[in-house]
Amino acid sequence: ENRPIPEPGPNEVLLRMHSVGICGSDVHYWQHGRIGDFVVKDPMVLGHEASGTVIKAGSGVTHLKPGDRVAIEPGVPREMDEFCKTGRYNLSPTIFFCATPPDDGNLCRYYKHSASYCYKLPDNVTFEEGALIEPLSVGIHACKRAGVTLGSKVFVSGSGPIGLVNVIVAKMMGAAAVVITDLSAIRLQKAKEVGADFTIQVKNETPQEVASKVETLLGCMPEITVECTGVQACIQAGIYATRSGGTLVLVGLGPEMVTVPIVNAAVREVDIRGIFRYCNTWPVAIALLASKRINVKPLVTHRFPLEKALEAFEITKRGEGVKVMLKCDPTDQNP
């Protein structure tokens, strides 16, 4: 709150922040101070699902001006390396990323960011939808990596926010049927609301039993599985469930070492792919939102002013609701 208002550089814009979603990674840093090799060593601002209004543009910025409403892509390459040259800048080892140590995030009143990674929002796309482009991008990137196409049968494991955006995107890309699993009946109901065809509430089934239920509901084994939990048993179920010759995409991050039936995957030619965040997704997401081809509004279940951030984080930590949104601009009531 008492930080000075930053001055944008030549290729940056200064933003008055509006909507910032809370991600599981924000909560994890808050609670544990690290995620894998990313360790919080100094005070760090959280937040990377965000939108705001340009209030000042650097001298070299030509595509944005004060008053423009923008969605912020939080990952900005620091150099034009081999990954940037091939269009996979998310894999650049020196990338800046909001709220990943030591880089500050944007859960604050004023924030400066590279103008090239701020995308103007059409008038019919709200600030909240703009902030939701970040999690939505994970779904777009995962479904592209998975090869979802017309008629695909898809199994999504985990019905948290990332599982839900994968349901939305898979259906948008032409999936004929999507089945989703979770422990929570409330989250599975939300999955139905956003387009899942079938739900399975997992209790104490073995991974093979979960795979069998998926096959029964779809009427066949899915060509594509999108695993959004990182839980060992769920990854195992993903391998068993996926049709021979199909693709399993690992989105959820769990422990570094996981025991999986790798020979089962190998002899059935199940491709296992990873994803790291996303790249080249903001223009796609904005086009989908502006054309009303997808609806992400049901994802937001709680809203808090910035002053009540602690309460918002507590609710996220407890797993209540789906997406908790913080409002950073007290003067603006526009969602």
pLDDT given at position 36: 84
Residue 193: inside a domain:
yes
- Is 81 in the same domain as 54? yes
SS3 of residue 263 by DSSP: helix
User: Over the stretch 108-155, which tens digit does the pLDDT of each residue have?
Assistant: 999 999 999 999 999 999 999 999 999 999 999 999 999 999 999 999
State the burial class of residue 299 (Cβ atoms within 10 Å of its Cβ: 0-12, 13-18, 19+): buried
- Is 33 in the same domain as 159? no
Residue 279: inside a domain:
no
Domain span holding position 323? 12-120+296-327
- Is 149 in the same domain as 97? no
Give the integer Cα–Cα distance in Å for 191 and 330. 32
Beta carbons of 12 and 326 less than 8 angstroms apart:
no
Residue 300: inside a domain:
yes
Provide the CATH number for the domain around residue 241: 3.40.50.720
pLDDT band at 2 (very low <50, low <70, confident <90, very high): low
pLDDT given at position 1: 56
- Is 168 in the same domain as 198? yes
pLDDT band at 3 (very low <50, low <70, confident <90, very high): confident
Give the integer Cα–Cα distance in Å for 315 and 292. 30
Q: Quick one: the chain helix, strand, coil %, rounded to 5? A: 35, 25, 45
- Is 147 in the same domain as 111? no
Residue 291: inside a domain:
no
Longest pairwise C-alpha distance within the chain: 60
pLDDT at 187 over 80: yes
Q: Which residue, among 262, 257, 282, 280, has the nearest Cα to 272 in the 3D structure?
A: 262
Residue 266: inside a domain:
yes
- Is 97 in the same domain as 178? no
Provide the CATH number for the domain around residue 318: 3.90.180.10
Beta carbons of 89 and 279 less than 8 angstroms apart:
yes
- Is 260 in the same domain as 300? no
Residue 181: inside a domain:
yes
Q: CB neighbours of 242 closer than 8 A, spacing ≥ 6?
A: 155, 221, 222, 223, 224, 225, 248, 265, 268, 270
User: Over the stretch 231-246, which tens digit does the pLDDT of each residue have?
Assistant: 999 999 999 999 999 9
Q: What is the average pLDDT score of the chain?
A: 96
Q: What is the CB neighbour count within 10 angstroms for residue 29?
A: 21
- Is 99 in the same domain as 186? no
SS3 of residue 70 by DSSP: strand
Q: Across residues 281-304, what is the average pLDDT?
A: 97
Residue 284 vs residue 35, higher pLDDT: 284
pLDDT at 332 over 80: no
**Percentage of the chain with pLDDT > 90?**
95
pLDDT given at position 333: 57
pLDDT at 160 over 90: yes
User: Residue written as tokens 């209030």?
Assistant: 55
pLDDT band at 248 (very low <50, low <70, confident <90, very high): very high
Residue type, 106: N
Residue 48: inside a domain:
yes
Residue 27: inside a domain:
yes
**In Å, what is the CA distance from 21 to each residue of 5, 209, 212?**
22, 35, 36
Give the integer Cα–Cα distance in Å for 38 and 35. 5
- Is 75 in the same domain as 151? no
pLDDT given at position 329: 82
**In Å, what is the CA distance from 75 to each residue of 168, 227, 279, 282?**
23, 23, 9, 11
How many domains are contained in the chain? Answer: 2
- Is 143 in the same domain as 116? no
- Is 159 in the same domain as 112? no
